[in-house]
Amino acid sequence: MTTECKLTAAHVLFPVSLVAFVVALSLAFQTTQIVRENTVLQSVKSQQDKPLEETTKVQAQLNALALGTKKLADGGDKDAQTIITRMKQAGINIGENAPAGTAAAPAAPALPGKLTPAK
């Protein structure tokens, strides 16, 4: 006697439903993780904004101080000339025509009045 196995919709519906449920559950989990990571990244970025602004202010003050010292040195002030000489020995160039080129950004041109390391 032969036994026939009839494949009915009920036999197929349960495994297909189970796979669909697992896929939906996986997508929901991944979406939740992405939203949490996005929130954490936004909070970290906002925490870095204030120190970045402070760093920019300090850099601008340092540049203004260095340019003032250079103007004094160009005017003949011996102490300012000594400071400029020591800065050059340390590899720091001051002025409008300071050469471009730092290890972090070799393609960036030197901005007028910015301190740049000497080559």
8 lies in some domain: no
State residue 31's pLDDT score: 98
Fill in the DSSP letter of residue 90. T
Residue 99 neighbours by CB under 8 Å, 6+ apart: 93, 110, 116, 118, 119
pLDDT tens sequence across 27-45: 999 999 999 999 999 999 9
Per DSSP, what are the bridge partners of residue 116?
Answer: 93
Q: What is the CA radius of gyration of the chain?
A: 33
Per-residue pLDDT band at 7 (split at 50, 70, 90):
confident
- Helix or strand (DSSP H, E) at 116: strand 116-117
- Helix or strand (DSSP H, E) at 117: strand 116-117
pTM, full prediction: 0.48
1 lies in some domain: no
State residue 107's pLDDT score: 38
State the Cα–Cα distance between residues 4 and 83, nearest whole angstrom.
99
In terms of residue numbers, what domain contains 38? 14-117
Per-residue pLDDT band at 115 (split at 50, 70, 90):
low
3 lies in some domain: no
pLDDT tens sequence across 35-73: 999 999 999 999 999 999 999 999 999 999 999 999 999
State the Cα–Cα distance between residues 114 and 119, nearest whole angstrom.
15
5 lies in some domain: no
Domain tally for the chain? 1
pLDDT tens sequence across 74-95: 999 899 999 999 999 998 888 6
State residue 1's pLDDT score: 52
